[in-house]
């Protein structure tokens, strides 16, 4: 399969054209957020506040990179386990988030929310930290600096290799993976 090249922000028709199992190369801007950042964003929304990110325009990547060596934009930067973010995800989708990147499967609630909002969930290969770092052109901490590796980093990526795991129709790659999801 020749991977499809797409660019953030993803237009609705691009999102709808993606099918579970498609391999893609993503370019553009993505934001990292993992456990602690999710907790904070979720709490902000729950208190009825606004969050300081434009969720509609962005893709959230569940990742906590290693620090950059001098002269390099970033260190190793593979995905972390998405299911730890499941409890917070429906609220973020409700607020406009349309693109998520991580590793592993999602809860039934998240799968339903993905279908409802017609958004997309990609997986990157776990443990591919060194190779993925070569696809990142720049990196900058933009939020929650005090969280260290858990801060929100703004990454500019070029041809970042991903697979569509759950598409906007709710099709799930792990349903066809040849083993039974528990």
- Distances from the Cα of 100 to the Cαs of 30, 69, 70, 82, 86, in angstroms? 9, 27, 29, 9, 11
Half-sphere exposure for 106 (CA within 13 Å, toward CB)? 31
The DSSP-derived string for 15-71 is HHH--TT-EEEEEEEEEE--HHHHHHHHHHHHTT---SS-GGG-EEE---PPPPPTT
By CB under 8 A, tell whether 76 contacts other proteins.
Answer: yes
117 carries an active-site annotation: no
In this chain, which of 33, 37, 41, 65 binds other proteins, going by CB under 8 A?
65
The whole-angstrom separation of Cα 171 and Cα 177 is 12
Check binding of 11 to other proteins (CB under 8 A).
Answer: no
Q: Per CB under 8 A, does 17 bind other proteins?
A: no
Q: Residue 25's closest CA among 41, 46, 2? A: 2
Q: Which is nearer to ligand SF4, 126 or 148 (CB)?
A: 126
Residue 126 binds ligand SF4 (CB under 6 A): yes
11 vs 130 by CB, closer to ligand SF4: 130
The closest residue (CB) to ligand SF4 is 127
* DSSP 8-state secondary structure symbol assigned to residue 162: E
127 touches ligand SF4 by CB under 6 A: yes
Binding status of residue 131 toward ligand SF4 by CB under 6 A: no
- Which residues are tagged catalytic? 38
Binding stretches for other proteins (CB under 8 A): 1, 36, 63-69, 75-78, 80-81, 83, 103-105, 123, 125-131, 133-134, 147-150, 161, 163, 173-174, 176-182
Binding stretches for ligand SF4 (CB under 6 A): 78, 126-127
């Amino acid at each position: 399969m020749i991977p499809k090249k797409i660019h953030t922000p993803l237009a609705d028709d691009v999102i709808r054209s993606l099918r579970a199992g498609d391999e893609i190369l993503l370019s553009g801007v993505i934001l990292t957020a993992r456990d602690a950042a999710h907790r904070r964003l979720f709490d902000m929304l729950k208190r009825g506040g606004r969050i300081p990110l434009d969720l509609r325009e962005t893709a959230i990547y569940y990742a906590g990179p290693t620090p950059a060596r001098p002269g390099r934009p970033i260190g190793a930067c593979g995905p972390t386990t998405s299911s730890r973010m499941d409890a917070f995800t429906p609220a973020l989708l409700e607020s406009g988030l349309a693109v998520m990147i991580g590793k592993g499967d999602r809860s039934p609630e998240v799968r339903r929310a993905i279908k409802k909002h017609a958004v997309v969930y990609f997986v990157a290969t776990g443990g591919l930290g060194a190779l993925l770092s070569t696809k990142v052109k720049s990196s900058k901490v933009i939020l929650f600096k005090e969280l260290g590796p858990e801060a929100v980093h703004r990454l500019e990526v070029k041809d970042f290799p991903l697979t569509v795991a759950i598409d906007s129709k709710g099709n799930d790659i792990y349903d066809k993976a040849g083993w039974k999801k528990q």
